[in-house]
Chains A and B, each alone.
Chain A
Amino acid sequence: MSKRARHCISSELYLECIHMLRYKEWILAATLYPVIFASIPILLGTWLASGAEEASRIFAENVGTDAYSIFLLVGANMWFFVMTALWDFGLKLRKEQTSGVIEDLYLAAGSLTWPLVGSGLFSILQCLAKYIASMLIGSILYGNSRYVANLDFLYGLGILTVGLVGVYGLSFMIGAIVLRVKEAFSLLVILQMLFGILMGVFYPVSSLPYGLRWISYALPMTIALNDVRAVLLSTQYVIDAHWDLTLILCQSLLYTLIGVVVLRRSERGIRRGAGLASF
């Protein structure tokens, strides 16, 4: 990696930190969002089972753990991180395209890739911090703090980190589409829904129809989500701990590589056309 690339990444990290500090209220909202979001299925499930104990029993029968609140909380967190990754990149590029900063960013950095890598790195760090905070708050709130206060939680954090890299690789592709299509919102909303259904946010992927499961496992965060739950709640791995981690690593590398190539090609294609600032 060149010195200039390192400069771009660190500067973008610095920029994002400043932006975050200028919108402090958002940090609190983003931390609480997964906790609140997870409470919807938790309350619904508890009500349908006529109480927490019965809900735990039924859940354990079907999923292999009685800690359904932690299962749903992890799912809500992961889904939120995927959304953050997609929306952050899509909206960031779109906003900078419409505001005119994107050309200056390109002129200074020589490519949009490195500033976006910096932005993605910041977002991963932010997601990890939010995960820790919301899991702490959520586990205390739902009375399951033992799942957070152990070493498995840290291992789960490691799996999450590797999985998030792949999500940002996918975001590069989304960024490339946004630059070309010039319309971020409808695309992102559709993807948000598809991810919600396919990555097993509120249910194990094994409950999906067989064909859909393969599409689901091809998404960058599905196996990571499954395995964070497996580590924390002793539920099933997709294959086993070793193979799953290898798969997550391979997916992350592959998605990142494809994402960077697609973004670079898209950037060049746009320069061949009406330019980056055209919207």
Chain B
Amino acid sequence: MALQTHPPALDSAATMATPVIAEKLVKTFRSSSRLGLFRNQRTVVKALDGVSLRIGRGECFGLLGPNGAGKTTLVKILTTLLLPDSGRAWVNGHDVVVEPEEVLTGIGVMLTGERTLYWKLTGRENLTFFGRIHGVPEEKLRERIREVVEGFRLGPFIDRLVETYSSGQRIILSFSKSLVADAPTIFLDEPTISLDPNYAAQIRDAIMRLTKGEGRTVILTTQLMHEADLLCDRIALLSGGTIVATGTPAELKGMVKEERIITMKIAAKAAQSGIIRQAVGVPEALMTTTEDGYIQLEVKTMSVDDLLPDLLDRLVVNGFQIHRVHVSEATLEDAFKRLTSGGT
């Protein structure tokens, strides 16, 4: 695990073996700020500033970051929709700038939003149309469509016009569309955004199947921390166009020194709370009596490993029986907040 690592020089074997490689990608956008009716000011926004990463085969790789961090720009460069100002990237061994058609043959992409379909076509017609222009052979296409229709239970609405779909149905159809080409590498840009829990779970299960079951590589951008925690083998945290940290969810959580809460349920009467407070020796400790007659002690600390054994010792020495101990975990959200705001 390292902050902002740059891969070494690449050879063709490396680009073939690693489905996604990005090397010092830079992308700037030029836009105009309106300063009244007739005055404009040209502004330059650096969306990516030297982003490098490597994503292994069968890996679910998360791209996390606040709005405007550069996640979608990175996905668009890797899927050849945008050309970088500088830097290079390879997907399935093909250079995204030099060989865009070869890159597109080997990827499935789901972009944000439900308006990525033809609304005057049925769901099946959409899948057929996009599958055909992707060059999927007719027989294989029929088989893939049958699989996704069954897999995502699209049957009840697949032959209806997309304009009659609910928002969730459109998104799940868009997701299915990205799988029709049977590509080894799949890019998903916030696939569960605005989905109800059932549809979202369906997509998460599918992502698990794609990576763990079928060995495909999935690059996932999301704002949902629990989703990233659940699905991603590794995560890159982007902020201001740079990768501020890369690692497994556990590694990222370990990178933040977050205030944690130790909660203990102690078998004692309310009258003994003064003795407990004295034994514990932490004046700020919060004590309440639970409905089932225990005393609940809450202590906030930055160093659980030091304080917890000490607390347990003191209470046991004073003859208190500890019924339950719980330590709040640092979450990916804590890591996200700390790392993307520049602290640790």
Contacts and interface: CB of A to CB of B under 8 A. Distances in A.
Interface in B12-43: 29-31
A10 B135 CA distance: 11
Contacts of B104: 107-108, 110
Given A12-B133, A272-B82, 5 more contacts: A4-B135, A100-B115, A271-B81, A271-B83, A275-B76
Interface string A1-33: 001100110111011001100110000000000
16 contacts: A4-B133, A18-B125, A22-B120, A23-B120, A100-B116, A103-B116, A104-B130, A106-B81, A107-B80, A107-B104, A107-B109, A110-B101, A110-B105, A111-B101, A271-B82, A273-B29
A8 B121 CA distance: 17
10 pairs of A and B residues whose beta carbons are closest in the complex: A11-B132, A100-B115, A4-B135, A110-B101, A108-B134, A108-B133, A272-B83, A109-B133, A104-B116, A11-B133
A268 interface: yes
A120 interface: no
A274 interface: yes
Given A99-B115, A103-B111, A115 B133 contact: yes
Interface in A62-120: 99-101, 103-111, 114-115
A103 B110 CA distance: 10
A138 B125 CA distance: 37
B232 interface: no
B50 interface: no
B339 interface: no
Contacts of B118: 15, 19, 101
B241 to A, nearest CB: 15
A197 B31 CA distance: 38
A274 B105 CA distance: 23
A183 B250 CA distance: 49
Interface of A: 3-4, 7-8, 10-12, 14-15, 18-19, 22-23, 99-101, 103-111, 114-115, 268, 271-277
Interface string B63-104: 000000000000010011111000000000000000011001
B117 interface: yes
B133 A100 contact: no
Interface string B137-175: 000000000000000000000000100000000000000
B113 interface: yes
Nearest to A19: B120
A109 B181 CA distance: 12
A276 B111 contact: no
Contact of B80 (A11, A18, A271): A271
Contacts of A115: 133
Nearest to B103: A110
Contacts of B79: 107
A12 B111 CA distance: 21
A100 B120 contact: no
Nearest to B109: A107
A275 B81 contact: yes
Given A15-B129, A18-B120, A100 B113 contact: yes
A100 B111 contact: yes
Given A101-B116, A104-B130, A274-B29, A7 B135 contact: yes
B100 A110 contact: yes
Contact of A14 (B31, B111, B129, B161): B129
B133 A8 contact: yes
Contacts of A109: 133-134
Q: Give the interface centre of B109, B121, B132 by most chain A CB atoms within 10 Å.
A: B132
Contacts of A100: 111, 113, 115-116
A268 B98 CA distance: 12
A3 B121 contact: no
A134 B109 CA distance: 44
B82 A275 contact: yes
Given A15-B121, A101-B115, A110-B104, A10 B132 contact: yes
A45 to B, nearest CB: 41
A115 B130 CA distance: 11
Contacts of B129: 11, 14-15
Contacts of A110: 100-101, 104-105
Contacts of A22: 120, 161
A107 B111 CA distance: 10
B24 to A, nearest CB: 18
